Amino acid sequence: MARGKKATEAPTDPHEAMLARLQLTGIRDQLDSLLDEAARADLSARETLILLCEREIARKDHRRIEMGLKLAHFPAVKELAGFDFEAQPSIDPKQIRDLAASRWIANGENVLLLGPPGVGKTHLSIALGREAILAGYTVQFTTATTLAAGLAKAHGERRLDEKLLALSKPKLLIVDELGYLPLEPDAAHLFFQLVSRRYEAGAMLITSNRSVAEWGTVFADPVVATAILDRLLHHSHVLTIRGDSYRLRAKRKSGLIKPPAGDGPPVGSASLRPATGGTNLQPRS
């Protein structure tokens, strides 16, 4: 079978060979055009070297970001620029911008986004994950039900340590939609092992429609749920979003559904207290 010339033949130009050996493929692939650009700008040798290095770094950053976004498995493309902060006044834009700087990821801290369905928790989680990738961190996105099923399967196949090791590698693990659907019977114990493995070593971002006071019900095991919260809340940022669903708001504007008769307490607005009535686990921001 004939093979492509560029893919199989070594570079004949000594400059190309050296750049390839140094893995400076950005400079190698654009060398002539970059040198022409430097000549037109009448750059000195030092300025030309800076130009070459800048383009190489830009090329590597672009490829790193592309690969990071691919490996993250985000379900959609969401950015902070596309989030409607005016529609959710309970969210502090400054706090979100601070989180977007990703310092909490470097420190192995956690973020909990709580609130009813449709208020933008998944949007924010993806957007913050994207910012983390831009900052150079590895990210993995999953839903709570997919995560629980994967852990249960690995446990049944006696590959739990292998699965936990894989889930401990990303600097940021995003777990979306905790509490929306029932979890497997052993989910609490498996999730506890994951949280323990990542405790103070890797950051987690969890979105949930349930307040942390209800997590005993979510995991069907109040004792283990308290142990999970003890680790998650130790170094954490907890954001409770109080607002209406974007989707329901659009339906109300169109007249398809009527507005609610009264305003009850929003989901996720309960105080941060474990479900068993133990010591109050207040987060440290």
Please give the Cα distance from 63 to 129 (Å, whole number): 17
Do residues 245 and 238 lie in contact, with contact meaning Cβ atoms separated by under 8 Å?
Answer: no
pLDDT tens-digit profile of 185-209? 899 999 999 999 999 999 999 999 9
Maximum alpha-carbon separation in the chain: 77
Q: What is the mean pLDDT of the chain?
A: 86
> Stretch 165-172: mean pLDDT, rounded?
98
Nearest to 228 by CA among 283, 189, 284: 189
pLDDT tens-digit profile of 118-142? 999 999 999 999 999 999 999 999 9
Q: Percentage of the chain surpassing pLDDT 70?
A: 82
More confident residue, 61 or 277: 61
- State the CB neighbour count (10 A cutoff) for residue 2: 5
Please give the Cα distance from 104 to 35 (Å, whole number): 41
Find where tokens 């590895």 sit: 138
Side chain identity at residue 100, one-letter code: A
- Please state the pTM of the whole predicted model: 0.80
Residue 159's pLDDT is what?
Answer: 98
Q: What angle do CA 274, 101, 229 make, to 5 degrees?
A: 10
Nearest to 155 by CA among 196, 184, 195: 184
pLDDT tens-digit profile of 39-69? 999 999 999 999 999 999 999 999 999 999 9
Tokens (6 digits) for 35? 């040198």
At 254, the pLDDT band (50, 70, 90 cuts) reads low
Residue 253's pLDDT is what?
Answer: 59
More confident residue, 212 or 266: 212
Side chain identity at residue 236, one-letter code: S
